[in-house]
Amino acid sequence: MSYKRILLKLSGEALKGNTEFGIDPRTVRDIAEEIKAAHDAGIQIGIVVGGGNMWRGKTASELGMERVQADYMGMLATVLNGLAIQDSLEHLGIETRVMSAIAAQQAVEPYIRRRALRHLEKNRVVVFVGGTGQPYFSTDTAAAVRCAEIGAEVMLMAKNGVEGVYDSDPRKNSDAKMFKSLTHEDLLNKQLAVMDLTAASLLKDNKIEVRVFNMNTKGNITKVCLGDNTLGTIIK
């Protein structure tokens, strides 16, 4: 059974496709086609996209850049990604709105919760960018906040090349074990690296189900949106 309203958290890194950095239009188009299939099935879709294909504020801070400045640069990177997703979706005939937590009114709408809900009720895809609008918070936390605010049934975390939640990094440890299901308490107590602890706490407090899956396998986004329980890890 598919969901009625979802929040899809897209990895920014996945938007670069096989390129070294930036946005690969063909990859974004492929993602948009999968989102369209879910939208055509009647699902209301909100999207939060990361900016890791262009910039990571935390990494820049660790290399000596002032953290607040680095984080604002990361928020701007998500705006670029959101506009790219909007362009691909609208080329496919899906009415889309990009709403930003930081001011960029010439290009996107300001984030206003009631307006976002109205867009969703009119079957528009809403892409939330600019993170939370505040430094020190990740796009995972922004996704958890928006998920709660719009009343989504589930947060779907589309990961770049990772099948689900593991007990260690599968890219570094070939013996890493993937969990098929976890509780929110497991996620917090084990400090699993699938998301930051602020996001995990928000999801737990609001009793929001989470699905973590690999977005790089063609068809996975549509399948998970439509309720396929065989993919990835479920957290509830």
Residue 193 confidence class, pLDDT cut points 50, 70, 90: confident
Q: Is the distance from CB of 9 to CB of 159 less than 8 angstroms?
A: no
Q: What percent of the chain has pLDDT over 70?
A: 98
Q: The domain 5-235: what is its CATH number? A: 3.40.1160.10
- Residue 141: CB partners within 8 Å, gap ≥ 6? 131, 132, 196, 198, 199, 202
Under the banding of pLDDT at 50, 70 and 90, the label for residue 171 is confident
How would residue 17 be classed by pLDDT, with cut points 50, 70 and 90? confident
> Hey, what are 178's tokens?
């993937």
pLDDT at 160 over 90: no
Integer Cα distance of 146 and 148 in angstroms: 5
Torsional class of 219: left (φ above 0), alpha (ψ -120 to 50), beta (otherwise): left
Residues 22-54: tens digit of each pLDDT: 899 999 999 999 999 999 999 999 999 999 888
Taking residues 199-210, report their average pLDDT. Answer: 94
For the chain, what is the mean pLDDT?
92
Amino acid at 147: C
Instruction: Provide the residue ranges of all domains of the chain, joining segments of one domain with +.
Output: 5-235
Cα dist from 40 to 59, 91, 92, 126, whole Å:
38, 15, 11, 15
Task: Kindly state the average pLDDT of the residues 138-143.
Answer: 94
Q: What is the mean pLDDT of residues 202-206?
A: 94
Instruction: Calculate ∠ Cα 38-39-41, nearest 5°.
Output: 65
DSSP string, 86-152: HHHHHHTT--EEEEESS--TTTSEEP-HHHHHHHHHTT-EEEEESTTSSTT--HHHHHHHHHHHHT-
For 44-91, what is each residue's pLDDT tens digit?
999 999 998 887 766 776 778 888 998 999 999 999 999 999 999 999
**Once rounded to an integer, what is the mean pLDDT over residues 199-221?**
94
Instruction: State the CB neighbour count (10 A cutoff) for residue 221.
Output: 26
pTM for this one?
A: 0.92
Residue 100 has pLDDT above 70, yes or no: yes
Cβ neighbour number for residue 38 with a 10 Å cutoff: 23
